[in-house]
Structure 1
Amino acid sequence: MEITIGAHVSISGGMDKAIERQEDIGGNCGQIFAGSPRTWSVSEYEKEEGEKFQEMRDEKGQNPYVIHSTYLVNLATPKDDLFEKSLNCLQSELDAAATLGVEYVVFHPGAHTGSGRDTGVKRIAEGIDELDIPENVTLLLENTAGKGTTLGRSMGELRDMIKHAETPDEKIGVCIDTCHAHAAGYDLVSEEGFQDFLQEIKEDIGLDKIKVLHLNDSKDERGSEKDNHMDIGYGEIGDEGFSNIVNAEEFEDLPIILETPSDKRAGYKENLEHILELRE
């Protein structure tokens, strides 16, 4: 069965350029930013632009697509001004996804910065409930490396965010990032550790809630809480860990997005080809 895999590509020069960049690396799905990832600005898209983007994706067989939210979003914050900025930004990204025909918007839940875990989790749920998630768009919570007061490191924390939200269940999902899971302490390399990881997903979230995989190797040791991505096979997860992931029947239908550094060792094309080599 064909694997659905692509990478995070730039929209510099226009949406058609993103399609071309994806095609150049051999991707058949993809991820983009809807604005600058380190600012609050989100681009506004016209209906015609969205229709053209969808047409080109269909023509090139690149589906689904994901919008990755800006890194500034923090729904766990106790600060009302940052909470409102985060909500407004996420709403703009959700609206952009609807215009562009993009199926998913993924965001990092945020950090409670001292208000406490339970308060932060409930704040995230409150934020989700204030969003108007468009039809045909699903909002995805991404697991985190867990550094400091960051929330979302465990499947249980993600479960609690979803559980406290009153938003219809089908409008919310989860994106699993391998580097983040490894940094948070999950063992993706040994067979036993990986099966434990799958079991925790099943028990705490349910496999049906996992919609997208971010595949990134990790520069640091397991449990480091450091979010330093590496090219596939060059880090601490290595071929053994990624072989477990891409051959798990529980994940076989999920779109895979690469966010590897694409440095001098291996570009996206090489990372993608390496993943295909590991697929049995």
Structure 2
Amino acid sequence: MLIIGPHLSIAGGLKKAGEEAQKIAANTFQFFTRNPRGGKAKAIDVNDVAELQRLIDENEFGPLLAHAPYTLNMCSAKPETREFAKMIFKEDLLRLEELPCQLYNFHPGSHTGQGVEKGIALITEILNDVMWADQKATVVLETMSGKGTEIGRSFEELKAIIDRVELKHKMGVCLDTCHVYSAGYDVVANLEGVLASFDQIIGLDYLKCIHLNDSMMPFNSNKDRHQKIGLGTLGIDAFRKIVTHPQLKELPFFLETPQENVQDYQKEIDLLRSFEGARIEYAD
């Protein structure tokens, strides 16, 4: 069965988030480790964690995805911003040692005018300082749309980060469908070509999860504006091919589409699950 879930708040507790996911036919979910704009993380409740683990075990949930706050920018020109990012990154990895979650996703950051090469050097400096060999979480770089001075707009930039990280076995990539389409990777008309490029440059073994988002913006716009599945410029057929593709269908999928409430995600989950087993021709 497709492993798919929404982005959920854990303000009411991890168990509650798991129950909300279960109610809408999801078998995983994504959550922010703390306020997405930064701030102190809520203390871990060991009983809440145990209850979530029980729910995961009893309902055969797939991998959960923890998302770093948007304020985490490891490659800012400001030393204090980089120090803040390093502190949050380290705290989050330590917290994940206590949670039933083994994927930690973050936006590589914006070099703020220093240049891509300098930005990548700053990112990898922090990764190498903080990560440790037997940490539980795999650190997942998110593909970005390329707005402003973002790093991660190309597979080559993500590869350059991974190449400089000492603990490569603890690194991965999250492919965001909205972002890559806006960055110039045509997952609508040439999904096979995009995956072949990813495999050649980074390696599909590094692809750990997918953010399923339609886009309000046109192809190669470098704009990050998520839309509900099928209502944007990617369209229904693109998502049908993505969730049934032999190289992708076993990965966990996470929805970050704009919804009024948690229940609205179920419409998308039901739609995407309806594609399972579809007869689609793929290139050899």
**Alignment TM class, shorter chain as reference:** over 0.9
TM-score (norm 2): 0.92
Alignment of 1:29-178 (within 5 A): 29-133=28-132, 135-166=135-166, 168-178=167-177
Distance 1:123 1:44 in 2: 30
Query: What letter is aligned with 2:209?
Result: V
1:132 deviates by 3.1
Structure 1 unaligned runs (5+)? none
Distance 1:48 1:169 in 2: 33
Q: Secondary structure at the match of 1:278?
A: coil
Distance 1:42 1:204 in 2: 36
Deviations 1:131-176 (A, max 9, x none): 135632111000101101000011111000110122x111111111
TM-score (norm 1): 0.94
Distance 1:161 1:77 in 2: 16
Structure 2 unaligned runs (5+)? 279-284
Distance 1:59 1:278 in 2: 25
Check the 8 A contact 1:64/1:103 in 2, yes or no: yes
Check the 8 A contact 1:75/1:86 in 2, yes or no: yes
Q: Secondary structure at the match of 1:212?
A: strand
Distance 1:199 1:93 in 2: 33
Check the 8 A contact 1:42/1:89 in 2, yes or no: no
Residues matched between the structures, number: 275
Q: Secondary structure at the match of 1:50?
A: helix
Distance 1:132 1:54 in 2: 25
State the match for 1:201 in structure 2: 198
Query: What letter is aligned with 2:149?
Result: T
Distance 2:224 2:149 in 1: 14
- Relative to structure 1, the CA distance from residue 263 to residue 46 in structure 2 (aligned partners, 3 Å threshold; closer, same or farther) is closer
Asked if 1:243 corresponds to 2:267, the answer is no
Deviations 1:199-253 (A, max 9, x none): 1110111010000111000011011111111110000001121122112111121
Asked if 1:217 corresponds to 2:214, the answer is yes
Q: Secondary structure at the match of 1:6?
A: strand
1:15 deviates by 1.4
Q: Secondary structure at the match of 2:97?
A: helix
My pick for the range that moved more, 170-179 or 56-65, is: 56-65
Check the 8 A contact 2:96/2:136 in 1, yes or no: no
Q: Secondary structure at the match of 2:27?
A: coil
Check the 8 A contact 2:214/2:226 in 1, yes or no: yes
Query: What letter is aligned with 1:254?
Result: L
Deviations 1:70-122 (A, max 9, x none): 00011121221111100111112212221112111100000000111111111
Check the 8 A contact 1:35/1:41 in 2, yes or no: yes
Distance 2:25 2:225 in 1: 25
Distance 1:229 1:108 in 2: 16
Q: Secondary structure at the match of 2:247?
A: helix
State the match for 1:27 in structure 2: 26
1:43 deviates by 2.2
Check the 8 A contact 1:143/1:177 in 2, yes or no: yes
Distance 2:260 2:48 in 1: 31
Check the 8 A contact 2:211/2:255 in 1, yes or no: yes
Match of 2:275 among 263, 274, 278: 278
Runs of 4 or more off by more than 4 Å in structure 1? none
Distance 2:234 2:264 in 1: 18
Check the 8 A contact 1:49/1:100 in 2, yes or no: no
Q: Secondary structure at the match of 2:233?
A: coil
Asked if 1:230 corresponds to 2:227, the answer is yes
